[in-house]
Amino acid sequence: MPKRGSTAFTLVEMLVVVAIIGLLIAILLPALARTGSKAKTAICLANLNQIMQANIAFASSNDGYSVRTLEPNANAPSGGMWWTSSLFDYQHPGKLVFCPEAINTPTPTMGTLNIGARHESWWDGVQYPHSSTETERGSYGQNMFVSRFRGSMTNWGFPQSHHWSGRLSGEFASEIPLFLDAIWTGGYAYNTDTPGATEGYMSGQTNRFALRRHEGKVNLVLLDGSARTSELSELWLLRWNKISVPVDGVVIPWD
């Protein structure tokens, strides 16, 4: 009677199977990472939409004016509150003020501040914390030229003639950025700003928003309420302020 053939795997066959599995993992992991990144981009855009809805509610109670980057508030320790806290009464932002790509941060500490980064949120425990025990935090920033002008105390010397009216309507509303991925609570951006030599520059304030958080791009919501993902160079095409002249062909040195 003939012997039944062996059904055991040989060493060579096992090595081939392991190699195939390794190859499949190598192929699938980048695809899974891209899927996760796209999901985070979608969550970020949803956050910006919700923040905009809170701002619309704020405007409905304030003669149609958008929230200021810094709202005077006599009850706050420093006499004012960043927009992240001013919107709490209209729709508690909670985790909405954090892009899911930038939730990593050292523990916020009163008496100090932290400038954010691509994957790190910012906090302020020095200038305008909303209470004596809590810091202002987030990973989005506001176009400060949309803040209704109220003298140099809340506008840091940038001229009134460069500011928009502060209302959530008007000419160019579809070209004026309002809230964006950012390393700080806001910025006074000009189209003439020189791109920073590295990511996350505080100077040349357009650079505060030039972050490769979403597969090399940045998320933003415009004054008309539309949210989108944009190439970094497109930030220099937006109408940040009344004297903006869009600049095409900007090259980001590190992008």
Indicate the domain borders of the chain. 12-237
DSSP state of 119: T
Which residue's entry shows tokens 């949309």? 146
Q: Using CA atoms, how far apart are residues 240 and 217, in angstroms rounded to an integer?
A: 18
Cα-flanking dihedrals φ and ψ of residue 220, to 5°?
A: -155, 160
Task: Compute CA distances 158 → 34, 148, 173, 237, whole Å.
Answer: 41, 12, 21, 21
Quick count: other Cβ atoms within 10 Å of Cβ 180?
27
Q: Using CA atoms, how far apart are residues 235 and 238, in angstroms rounded to an integer?
A: 6
Find out whether 157 and 149 touch, Cβ atoms under 8 Å: no
Find out whether 195 and 208 touch, Cβ atoms under 8 Å: no
Q: Using CA atoms, how far apart are residues 68 and 88, in angstroms rounded to an integer?
A: 13
Task: Compute CA distances 92 → 9, 40, 141, whole Å.
Answer: 60, 21, 17
Q: How many helices (H) and strands (E) does the chain have?
A: 3, 10
Which residue from 244, 181, 241, 175 is spatially nearest to 209, judged by alpha carbons? 181
pLDDT in tens, the chain (255 residues): 455 555 666 767 677 777 777 777 677 666 555 567 889 999 999 999 999 999 999 999 999 999 999 988 888 888 889 999 998 777 765 567 899 999 877 788 899 999 999 999 999 999 998 888 888 999 999 999 999 888 766 778 899 999 999 999 888 999 999 999 999 999 999 999 999 999 998 889 999 999 999 999 999 999 999 999 999 999 999 999 999 999 999 999 987
